[in-house]
Structure 1
Amino acid sequence: MNKVIVLLMVFCGLAFAKAQQTPSPQPVSKDSIIKSPAEYFYVDGDSINAIELNSVLLLQDLKFESRYERIKYLILKRKVLKVWPYAKLAAERLTVLDQRLSSLRTKNQKKKYSKMVEKYIEEEFTAELKKLTKTEGQILIKLIHRQTGDTAYALLRRLRSGWSAFWFDKTASLFDISLKEEYSPEAVIEDFYIEDILLNSITDDKLEDQEAAIEFDYFKARKNWKEYENNLPESYDSIQLSARAQRIKEYREKKARKAKRNKK
């Protein structure tokens, strides 16, 4: 899984410069309002100094009716905060590499250069990427789509070959990760949670901003989430919380057995 993620970070960086940028709601840091040159307006013979400010996106905190959904959101928040820097850093650092790649004339030169880039990224990121869980890896795949406009599978297919894309997709599936996963806040509740976490964290200066390469309507997604919450069955929380408690119990028992084996 880690090999797949590393390669994807290489390819998303190489393709990022080609991605078409489309507007999405952009929160503005509380301390980052940029002032334009002063203009003067004259009212009744008096001059008034005026400046134009950037627009600011104000977001209300989500008010959960479901306790389980709130727990999901908080767990997801921790994972998004951990993964986002990788998605952003890969895009920022590797965009410039696309310029170099486009200047090479032969396939052999491009292949050698791609191998060199791959080695560089592996050396820089592999140690940290090994710490990612399956869930965090899937979130990173979605954020790659958010930042490049292409699914991870499409990037592999275009920048390597169809066979490589197929092979890596099958490998990733062994770890319950889909390289074809798209980022769709309007249709997928988890993706809406990710977007809400990103926008709020950027506004609060917890994360650095980077414009999305795909178009979506945050407020439409928020409306869809509210309808989803309102239509949850009454037994939803009790069933989901009970299942979660069982998963935690099984995880702890598995961890204890592993620790016991390691002591022998």
Structure 2
Amino acid sequence: MKYVFVFFLIIGGSIPLCFSQVEEQELDSISERMIIVAGDSLIQSSIALEEAYVFGKLKFSSYDDKLRYYILRRKTEKVYPYAKLAAERLVELNDSLASIKNKRKRNKYTKKVQKYIEEEFSEELKKLTRTEGQILVKLIYRQTGSTAFDLVKDLRNGWRAFWYNTTAKLFKISIKEEFHPDQIEEDYLIEDILQRAFSKGKLERQATVLDYDYDQLYNKWKKTTKVPKD
């Protein structure tokens, strides 16, 4: 998946080998934890340390719907660490480039980052399927607030971004794809998968930079959501 790989050549970094377990914080005598049952706040203290969701049991109208959901879950959990990495490395890269004023040195630094990632992680990124690649593009937007296209354009140049997007279209992937769980049902399912994985410690939580509330999303979609076809 060259179009996905290119982005990671630019941002730099390393692929985490495992996911950290989310440790539960013990509550002291003067504060309580806010407990939310997807849509309804049960307990809210004056001092809320964090939020936790108690999720309802998943229900499916058919075996095929159930199968499609679990396929979507497997792919989402697989590519999320890459999107999380993108957000982290983007901040690091921008900080580093900000301290390098010379254009030639900036280009040299970027190329060194590209070479490092190419040698270490190219084969792993190339193994992503078409649907995994598209989910990754959406999650990059969730974590950074920018499309993969815009990130490439900002860090390299507009012609490269156009060319990579055109190449991606040959594989039915758009690197201009955004993430809108408040408008698109599949995006909501992806968000729901992430929240469930965070609560179980399967994935390390990283807050989205986008402006939406999962509690409100649940209330909006709970009566209409159907698992999409892959």
Q: Does 1:171 align with 2:205?
A: no
Name the structure 2 match of 1:222: 218
**1:13-28 correspondence to structure 2 within 5 Å:** none
Rounded to whole Å, the distance in 2 between the matches of 1:192 and 1:67 is: 20
User: Shift in Å at residue 228 of structure 1?
Assistant: 2.8
Structure 2 residue matching 1:54: 3-state secondary structure: strand
Q: Does 1:150 align with 2:169?
A: no
TM-score by length of 2: 0.78
Name the structure 2 match of 1:184: 180
Rounded to whole Å, the distance in 1 between the matches of 2:92 and 2:157 is: 22
User: Shift in Å at residue 93 of structure 1?
Assistant: 4.3
Q: Identity across aligned pairs (percent)?
A: 45
Alignment RMSD, CA only? Answer: 3.0
| Uncovered stretches (5+) of structure 1, i.e. residues with no partner | 15-27, 40-51, 245-264
Higher helix share: 1
Contact 2:181 2:191 in 1 (8 A): yes
User: Shift in Å at residue 91 of structure 1?
Assistant: 3.0
**1:61-72 correspondence to structure 2 within 5 Å:** 61-72=57-68
**1:104-183 correspondence to structure 2 within 5 Å:** 104-183=100-179
Rounded to whole Å, the distance in 2 between the matches of 1:101 and 1:95 is: 10
Contact 1:12 1:148 in 2 (8 A): no
1:130-165 Cα deviation digits (max 9, x unpaired) = 211000011110110011000111112222211111
Q: How many matched pairs?
A: 208
From the CA coordinates, give the structure whose radius of gyration is larger: 1
Structure 2 residue matching 1:57: 3-state secondary structure: strand
- Opposite residue 54 of structure 1, the aligned amino acid is L
TM-score by length of 1: 0.69
Rounded to whole Å, the distance in 1 between the matches of 2:123 and 2:58 is: 35
Name the structure 2 match of 1:57: 52
Contact 2:10 2:110 in 1 (8 A): no
User: Shift in Å at residue 73 of structure 1?
Assistant: 1.2
Rounded to whole Å, the distance in 2 between the matches of 1:128 and 1:191 is: 25
User: Shift in Å at residue 10 of structure 1?
Assistant: 4.5
User: Shift in Å at residue 101 of structure 1?
Assistant: 0.8
